[in-house]
Amino acid sequence: MGNINNKEELISKHNKYIMPSVHVSYKEPLCIKKGEGEYLYDLDGKKYLDFYTGIMVIVSGHCNKKVTDAVSAQIKELQHSTSFFINIPVVELAEKLAKITPGKLQQSFFVNSGSEAVEGAINLAQIYTGKDTVIGLQHGYHGRTLLTKTLTAISVWREGQTNISNIRYTPNAYCYRCNFNSSPDRCDMACARYLEEVIQTQTKGEIACVVAETIQGVGGLIFPPKDYFKIIAEITKKYGGLLIIDEVQCGMGRTGNMFAIEHYDVEPDIIAMAKGLANGFPIGVFISTEEIASCFYGPSVSTFGGNPVSCAAASANLDYIFENKTIENSKKIGRLFEEQLMLLKEKYKIIGDVRGKGLFWGIELVKDLKTKEPASEETEEILQYCKDEGLLIGECGDYFHVLRLGPPLNISEEKAYEGIKILDKAISKLNFK
């Protein structure tokens, strides 16, 4: 731990030397020392079952041996290259991504984060189409650069300048709180079709792209119905734009497919990824078709993009996912989550909605089932109780009122039950107050 000797000193120096805008969870911050498989350990050696995985990053478990071995070998061979020189891990990874992404996506541009991947994808779409208007979805989250923060449509994450002028927003498919007062049994997908209205009334009738998370993570684990993206893709194409799918959070096997968009029978023009790709090593990438990519000969560069260590980690992580069939496991354990979380919904009236697929689950908490008033304080209490009992889960949604669950894809049935049991206990405590 270098020259820092205890938790109190660590927190006090964090407060002194790290900017306060860096959000820290829990009243008493969690200070992490070690990760192993599905567990994290704090400075006092207390063990936590990790159902949050560093915001959906650790898809293959903490300090996964295959990834660690690949990184250790690479670190001794070559640690940095820049995109001006070609290194083996970046090309090997690009080839793997071309094989696993849907449709004709073939050529990658490597960067360092999800924000950068989305921003790079938008830039490519603008160059390809020669247009500059970008349309995002309500409740979308895309990052913290000026462009991706402006594109983000969740107030709490937009603080500071959000003044890029060529951005418009179209409704997402938030069925639990439908903007169009519809319900699944009589839904005519007005939310998806509204995109045409946005283009006709708020643009000159020409767009560069529509950018959408397949499943909105930070927005509250919002899963659109089956036809949503087909309609969005058709309208986007009709007006000359590209469809950019942001899989930064929901990709890499989390929903039971390698990419969540594969649940929707739609071929995006560009996919942005990051988070789970390298199981904890910093990386971002956007991938597109050869035709689209070849409209931009640059020059463009990323000093750290395509870093050989991060790329070696990502390659090993993908190999691990396939060799161990962890996407199949995510589907299988996902069914257990569905069954168990639906039981919790029946049991507790604070649970307004349960949504998920694979190992990506949201539990929307409301003070009243009729008014659907968000239960933010209660969400906070549940998170705190779970932490005390040794379970880490996340929160999301406009009002931090949705519990976000995303364990590693290789979690066992036993650990899945163990975590859900703690969650059950946490909600029951709250209900007895």
Ligand X SMILES: Cc1ncc(COP(=O)(O)O)c(C=O)c1O
List of residues contacting ligand X (CB under 6 A): 55, 113-115, 118, 141-143, 213, 217-218, 246, 248-249, 274
| Distance in angstroms (rounded) separating the CA atoms of residues 145 and 124 | 16
DSSP state of 387: H
* Nearest to 328, CA basis, from 361, 358, 360, 362: 358
User: What token pair was written down for 80?
Assistant: 């940095």
| Distance in angstroms (rounded) separating the CA atoms of residues 88 and 273 | 20
Residue with tokens 């793997």: 96
* Nearest to 397, CA basis, from 363, 432, 357, 420: 363
Question: Judged by CB, which is closer to ligand X: 117, or 366?
Answer: 117
Residue 151 CB, nearest distance to ligand X (Å)? 10
Residue 173 CB, nearest distance to ligand X (Å)? 16
Question: Judged by CB, which is closer to ligand X: 114, or 374?
Answer: 114
Residue 49 CB, nearest distance to ligand X (Å)? 22
User: What token pair was written down for 40?
Assistant: 């994290």
Question: Judged by CB, which is closer to ligand X: 143, or 280?
Answer: 143
Question: Judged by CB, which is closer to ligand X: 157, or 385?
Answer: 157
Residue with tokens 């020409």: 206
Residue 218 CB, nearest distance to ligand X (Å)? 5
Residue 113 CB, nearest distance to ligand X (Å)? 4
- For residues 256 and 330, is the Cβ–Cβ distance under 8 A? yes
- Give the residue ranges of DSSP H helices in 139-245: 146-151, 190-202, 228-238
Question: Judged by CB, which is closer to ligand X: 40, or 121?
Answer: 121
Residues 6+ apart with CB under 8 A from 154: 139, 140, 141, 218, 219, 398
Question: Judged by CB, which is closer to ligand X: 158, or 425?
Answer: 158
Residue nearest to ligand X (CB): 114
Angle at 328 between CA 326 and CA 329, to 5 degrees: 60
Residue 246 CB, nearest distance to ligand X (Å)? 5
Which strands form 391-392's sheet, in the order they lie side by side? Answer: 32-36, 39-42, 47-50, 391-392
Question: Judged by CB, which is closer to ligand X: 60, or 340?
Answer: 60
Residue 399 CB, nearest distance to ligand X (Å)? 18
φ, ψ (nearest 5 deg) of residue 391: -130, 130
Question: Judged by CB, which is closer to ligand X: 37, or 114?
Answer: 114
CA dihedral 22, 402, 332, 323 (to 10 degrees): -10
Q: Side chain identity at 7, as an amino acid letter?
A: K
Residue 275 CB, nearest distance to ligand X (Å)? 6
Question: Judged by CB, which is closer to ligand X: 203, or 249?
Answer: 249
Question: Judged by CB, which is closer to ligand X: 142, or 331?
Answer: 142
Q: Which residues of 225-234 are buried (b: 16+ CB within 10 A; e: fewer)?
A: eebbbebbbe
Integer CA distances (angstroms), 366 to 160, 340, 350, 351, in order: 29, 19, 5, 6
Residue 86 CB, nearest distance to ligand X (Å)? 25
Residue 221 CB, nearest distance to ligand X (Å)? 11
| Distance in angstroms (rounded) separating the CA atoms of residues 332 and 322 | 15
Query: 403 pairs with which residues across the strands?
Result: 363, 395
